[in-house]
Structure 1
Amino acid sequence: MSKNKIDEKELIFRKVKEKERLTFYQNAMLSVNEFATSSLGFSWKRFKRILMLNRLTFGLIAKIFMKDMVDYAVVYDNKMVAGFTILTSKENYALGNVFTIPEYRGKGLASIIVNKVTSEFSDKPIELNVDIKNEIAIHIYKKYGFKEKNRTKQFIENIPFQTKPFAKGYSAKILEYNDLENLDKLRKEIPQFDVILKAYKRGLKKSKKRALQIETQVPCALLEDNEIIGLGRAVWSKTTPHTATILASAILPEGTENYASFITFITTELIPYDIKKFNWNLSEKTKPFENSFVSFLSKPVRESIVMEKEIEIN
């Protein structure tokens, strides 16, 4: 195959067809093969099997839960050679799942994709997350106006996970639906708290008899003298049945020193569900808890740069 660059005029950009969705995600995951294997605790072969098992639900998931997320195929000579995903929110666009299949790398497709995205989705800022080791991609993004916004680190830890006991007067509990009436302090002090709370409400309302359960969660509350001063939850799905993600950033400043103890409480509650590992991200949202928590963690499995391209004002 010639190593000549491909001209954008030779390419077709279109939405991924339902019958192509499995192939799309297999190709997208090739770039994180090592991450999926070592971090999430299962082999690439098993990951592909999970994709196959979920094949019939992809369309339903996309329609119900991902109506603002669109997968795009880049077609050359009737073949999907690259792709990307655009997630639309009120504030911005998020660019993800950018891939080029191995035999078409080095032909300028990544630059064409980024140029296309920045041209077509120019009415809002565009945000993306790129591995800190992916120097080629970082160079391309900078070339098209993306600037570093912040950095993230991903940690994977085993369960049981021990840190330190709660300080006197502090404790934690499983969040119950009745507790939602006693969150005025959090609502006043935490930005966009009502948006955060929606995720907890969905989990509390979820029926065990529901035919299709995409996500399972354990919602918890951090307390100071029996008053709720923070929320945190563990989330996992059928695709990663033994690894949960810990989401715990809606916590008032007075709970910071007990953050590690709160995470230990949450992870202990996962043991009956046969959860073996948990994933926690140091990000802009969890930065306030870095000093009180990161010392209990092992080395990060992945470090990323969050980049953003702002709206260009002519």
Structure 2
Amino acid sequence: MIEIATTKDLNTLFDIENRVFANDSFALSKNSLRYHLSNNIIYKIEQDEKIAGYILWLKRKNYYRLYSLAIHPDFRGLGLASRLLEYSLENLDKEKFSLEVKVSNLDAIRLYKKFGFKVSRILKDYYEDIDGYLMVK
């Protein structure tokens, strides 16, 4: 099941964030997640009656920016990221989307390309340790 996350999901979302982005300086704090729950769109996906992952979209004037996509390690390989992305693209009220991704994150790049995202440009030193891609759809 996919639905909009609420503040009651905060602790679980924060746990997923910490597991997926444990050593990442871009990881969201609990306060950041709380802010996004109130001001942006976070879809959660459930598997076996547990929140298994989420996708966070920032609404801009003419497009949405995919800010974070995380699937709990226990639920990887089930196609949940694809389901979240597909659901988002079908339910958000814009036709244009963007995201940034590490050039080394080949699984994510492959997923985004599957849904029509294309590399728009290289973002030099975007992440602490590596370049990023700006991808658009």
- The TM-score normalised by the length of structure 2 is 0.82
- Provide the C-alpha distance between the structure 1 equivalents of 2:22 and 2:124, rounded to a whole number of angstroms: 18
Aligned position for 1:33 = 22
| % identical aligned pairs | 23
In structure 2, which of residues 125, 130, 133 is the aligned counterpart of residue 302 of structure 1? 130
Count of equivalent residues: 137
1:31-70 aligned within 5 A: 31-36=20-25, 51=30, 54=31, 58=34, 61-62=35-36, 67=39, 69-70=40-41
In structure 2, which of residues 106, 112, 122 is the aligned counterpart of residue 151 of structure 1? 122
1:90-129 aligned within 5 A: 90-121=61-92, 123-129=94-100
Relative contact order, CA 8 A, sep 6+: which one is greater?
Answer: 1
- Provide the C-alpha distance between the structure 2 equivalents of 1:26 and 1:140, rounded to a whole number of angstroms: 23
The offset of 1:18, in angstroms, is 0.9
Aligned position for 2:6 = 17
- Provide the C-alpha distance between the structure 2 equivalents of 1:136 and 1:94, rounded to a whole number of angstroms: 19
- Provide the C-alpha distance between the structure 1 equivalents of 2:20 and 2:131, rounded to a whole number of angstroms: 15
- Provide the C-alpha distance between the structure 2 equivalents of 1:107 and 1:82, rounded to a whole number of angstroms: 11
Contact 2:2 2:84 in 1 (8 A): no
Gaps of 5+ in 1: 1-11, 41-46, 155-280, 283-299, 310-314
Aligned position for 2:107 = 136
Structure number with greater Rg is 1
1:229-240 aligned within 5 A: none
Aligned position for 1:77 = 48
Aligned position for 2:57 = 86
Q: Provide the aligned C-alpha RMSD in A.
A: 2.8
Amino acid across the alignment from 1:143:
K
Check 1:71–1:122 CA distance in 2 against 1; reply closer, same or farther (3 A cut): closer
Contact 2:36 2:42 in 1 (8 A): no
SS at match of 1:301: coil
